[in-house]
Chains A and B, each alone.
Chain A
């Protein structure tokens, strides 16, 4: 049982490049989310999904796309990277509301630098 797995752990991009941050969970969780954390700040929600085929925007969605084709995977796409997207990105998953053990489980993060 690996929990929430994020790849890559580190990435350097040039301005304008695109890339996909991968997130996979093996706990059969319905909910999955992406957050970014800037230095000295709390986490901010980018996008979230309540199940396969369903996604919605969070607090800071601009510049990011997501899709949820399976329960296990929730990739985050940066279409045209900008220096303002330099941050640490965390993926999280949890059971749906109303179930026991509804704590969120976080991945180890992807540290992204855009130059």
Chain B
């Protein structure tokens, strides 16, 4: 499975847009990019998944350039409740062997 690299932590304020970039230089042709969110004392929760270009849902957008060696999770207008750890994962869709890195710890302040 492709290894991913993310910033260890990020700080933001309420109402701002937050962009978290993930590097995955060894991504395979049939790999998808998936982001999970984890709050303290809870299991990870799926946010968004994509293969190329742009994917948007009700909570986030995922931008993937043509070479697919990186991706950016965009959270519009964050609130205090978006404070969490965000994990970028790369692998085949529906894969049962998720490989988590240390993730990006996002702290949103008032």
Contact = CB atoms under 8 A, between A and B. Distances in A.
Do the two chains belong together in a single complex?
Answer: yes
Contacts of A45: 97-99
Interface in B7-61: 34, 36, 41-46, 49
A99 interface: yes
Most chain B CB inside 10 Å of its own CB: which residue of A31, A90, A104, A106: A104
Interface residues of A, number: 32
Interface in A22-76: 31-33, 35, 40-45, 48-50, 58-59
A108 B99 CA distance: 19
Nearest to B95: A97
Between A45, A98, A106, the greatest number of chain B beta carbons within 10 A of the residue's beta carbon is seen for A106
Interface of B is mostly: loop
Contact of A42 (B45, B94, B103): B103
A94 interface: yes
Interface of B: 34, 36, 41-46, 49, 87, 92-103
Interface of A: 4, 31-33, 35, 40-45, 48-50, 58-59, 90, 92, 94-99, 102-109
27 contacts: A4-B43, A31-B94, A33-B97, A33-B98, A35-B100, A42-B100, A42-B103, A43-B44, A48-B96, A49-B96, A92-B43, A95-B94, A97-B93, A97-B94, A98-B93, A102-B93, A102-B94, A103-B46, A104-B36, A104-B46, A104-B98, A105-B46, A106-B42, A106-B43, A106-B45, A109-B41, A109-B42
